[in-house]
Amino acid sequence: MIKNILIEIGLIARFTARFFREVFKPQFEFSEFLRQCFYIGNKSFPLVAITAFIMGLVITMQSRPTLVEFGAQAWLPKMISVSLVREIAPVITALICAGKIGSGIGAELGSMKVTEQIDAMDVSGTNPYKFLVVTRVMATTLMIPILAILADGISLYGGYLGCNIHGLVSWDLFWNQVFDTLVFADIVPSILKTFFFGFIIGIIGCYQGFNSSKGTEGVGQSANSAVVISSLLVFIIDLLAVQITDALNLN
């Protein structure tokens, strides 16, 4: 069991090392990269937006009674802005993307592997790693931070509506409080970690798909493993990120 886990970690590390070797080598598959960016960004946006909005609204409504108890409901915009921007929006975006994009990549590449499409690409004189893996990993690394920034804004809008369900907070007052509260140390580390989330979702999805076997059963397993492993790694990266920001006194 432990031996298998260590072997798997080694194989993922080797697969990731190959990404860094291939990414700077010509030829650059720019049109495929743009296609993936469109697919990952555009197609995932509605789901991320709805989830972020609901999370913003729900967190605000759940937090309000406790703050009211201490007579601190005026602090509601400050509190939710920090928790949404630092933690909830980036992590929820990453988890949604791990589910939607990671499984999609795992299943797509897995199906290409078992139907010999990856071999066909090789025979056509195309480096399948570069065409399929590098473009997808680059696209997830770039698009997930953009989705997370959009999720920050949408979840804060949800928070604004949440504040106004039982109270009355003007649009200007809400956003003034949000921007007075949020500082460099809240925004930059939270965006930086989403690049790592994006990279890990892409690389794990591609790794699982690229190493798929056993026909359609293997494709299902690849999609499933892509979601499980990348979700777990998102939490581990988040844990490491908070340790680093804590050590740098950014919390």
Partner 1 sequence: MAEVVEHNKSFNSLESVISIKGLRKAFGDNKVINGFDFDLKRGENVVVLGKSGSGKSVLIKLIIGLMKPDQGSIEVFKDKVETLSTSQLDEMRVKVGFLFQSNALYDSMTVRENLEFPLRRHRKKTSKEEVNKLVMEALTNVGLPQTVDMMPSELSGGMRKRIALARTLILKPEIILYDEPTTGLDPITGKEISHLMLDIQKKYNTSSIIISHDINCVKIVANRIVMLIDGICYATGTYNELENSTDTRVKQFFE
Q: Which of 250, 244, 240 shows the shortest CA–CA distance to 185?
A: 250
Residue from 112, 133, 137, 182 in contact with partner 1 (CB under 8 A): 112
Which is nearer to partner 1, 31 or 249 (by Cβ)?
31
Cα dihedral value 38, 39, 42, 48, nearest 10: -140
For residues 66 and 222, give the distance between their C-alpha atoms in angstroms, rounded to a whole number: 43
Which is nearer to partner 1, 26 or 71 (by Cβ)?
26
CB crowding 127-159: b at 16 or more within 10 Å, else e: ebbbbbbbbbbbbbbbbbbbbbbbbbebbbbbb
Q: Is 213 in the site for partner 1 (CB under 8 A)?
A: no
Which is nearer to partner 1, 123 or 239 (by Cβ)?
123
Candidates 99-107, 122-130, 170-178, 181-189; binding stretch for partner 1 (CB under 8 A): 122-130
| Rama region for 25: left / alpha / beta (φ>0; ψ in -120 to 50; rest) | beta
Q: Is 24 in the site for partner 1 (CB under 8 A)?
A: no
Q: Is 217 in the site for partner 1 (CB under 8 A)?
A: no
Neighbours of 65 (CB within 10 A): 10
Candidates 55-63, 67-75, 110-118, 197-205; binding stretch for partner 1 (CB under 8 A): 110-118
Candidates 4-12, 44-52, 65-73, 117-125; binding stretch for partner 1 (CB under 8 A): 117-125
Q: Is 120 in the site for partner 1 (CB under 8 A)?
A: yes
Residue given tokens 């809240």 in the structure block: 186
Candidates 95-103, 121-129, 226-234, 237-245; binding stretch for partner 1 (CB under 8 A): 121-129
Interface residues with partner 1 (CB under 8 A) are: 108, 111-112, 115-117, 119-127
